[in-house]
Amino acid sequence: MVKVKFFAVLKGLVGKEEISLEIKEGTSLNQLIEQLKADLPPLVDIMQKGGILISVNQEVLEKDAIIQDGDEIAFLPPFAGG
Amino acid sequence: MDQDRIRVQTEDFSIEEETKKLLACSKRIGGVVNFLGTARDFSKGQEIHKIDFDHYPGMAEKRLAEIREQALKDYDIIEVTIIHRVGEISIGENIVLIVVGAEHRKDAFRACSWCIDELKRITPIWKKETTPDGIVWVEEHP
């Protein structure tokens, strides 16, 4: 089971702040994104638009990274602090 | 001590208090540069009524701590404090404070400028502006 979090504008677009889902061993972030797109259709447009970073356990990783049971994944829209 | 130097909080901060605290850490400090970011009422041709900041708890603090550590390594400075407010912020209120203490002003200015640029680049904090036309999530960091 992994936890997936959505922040800021994504929270509203996806309609959820956090979800939990089962993953198969060896799942990559890319595969997780595809799995999520099926359940959360707004993600298709969001990911196509670009500019979204994805973190695993609070570290931004490339989309070919392999995730593990218990990981916390977050979809991060462009930052705008300061 | 370091935890106090890096904060993400809803409540306001005192520039004077933070400057005093930083000065108290070393008598070698000969110059302090402060950057204060405040909420303005106009952006991209639109009136702004209020601003809300969202953040990724834990990761935002981690990024600010990394910025502080990197600044202490790369610049000839003595101490850095970085505070960012989150939640609802009214026009004119404080948003972000960076306090840099160094022996000499040039290093303090350079480090302070680098810290705010880096904060905007890598810290998971997001800004939502309420305008007369509705709510807009800001997607760039000028």
Task: Give residue limits of the domains in chain B.
Answer: 2-137
User: What is the rounded CA–CA span in Å between residue B77 and residue B66?
Assistant: 15
Worst-scoring range by mean pLDDT, A9-18, A56-65, A69-78?
Answer: A9-18
CATH class name, domain A2-76: alpha beta
Distance from CA of B34 to the nearest CA of A (A): 14
Q: How confident is the model at residue A10 (pLDDT cuts 50, 70, 90)?
A: very high
Q: Residues 8 to 37 of A: which have CB under 8 A from any B CB?
A: 8-9, 11
| Residue written as token pair 């990783």 | A61
| C-alpha distance from residue A72 to each of A48, A67, B86, B124 (Å) | 23, 9, 22, 15
Q: Hey, what amino acid is at B71?
A: A
> Cβ–Cβ of A58/B56 closer than 8 Å?
yes
Arithmetic mean of pLDDT, A45-57: 91
Confidence of residue B2 (pLDDT cuts 50, 70, 90): low
Instruction: Note the Cα A3 to chain centre separation in Å.
Output: 9
Q: A81 and B126 in contact by Cβ < 8 A?
A: yes
State the smallest CA–CA distance between residue A78 and chain B in angstroms: 6
Q: Which among A77, A78, A82 has the least Cβ separation from residue B37?
A: A82
Mean per-residue pLDDT for A34-60? 91
Assess contact for B137 and B52: CB atoms under 8 A: no
Instruction: State whether B127 and A5 contact (CB < 8 Å).
Output: no
Question: Which class does domain B2-137 fall in?
Answer: alpha beta
Query: What local confidence, expressed as pLDDT, does residue B141 receive?
Result: 61
A5 at B interface, C-beta within 8 A: yes
A4 CB near a chain B CB, below 8 Å?
A: no
Q: Nearest residue of B to residue A78 by CA position?
A: B139
More confident residue, A58 or A49: A58
ipTM of the complex: 0.93
**Residue B129: closest CA among B54, B74, B52, B39:** B52
The full set of domain ranges for chain A reads 2-76
Q: B96: nearest CA in chain A?
A: A82
- pLDDT tens digits for range B38-70: 999 988 788 999 999 999 999 999 999 999 999
- A76 to chain B: closest CA residue: B124
Q: Are B96 and A81 in contact (CB under 8 A)?
A: yes
The sign of the dihedral angle between the CA atoms of A25, A30, A31, A33 is positive
Of B56, B119, B124, the CB nearest to A82: B119
Q: At what angle do helices B105-122 and B59-74 cross, to 10 degrees?
A: 150
Mean pLDDT, all residues of chain B: 94
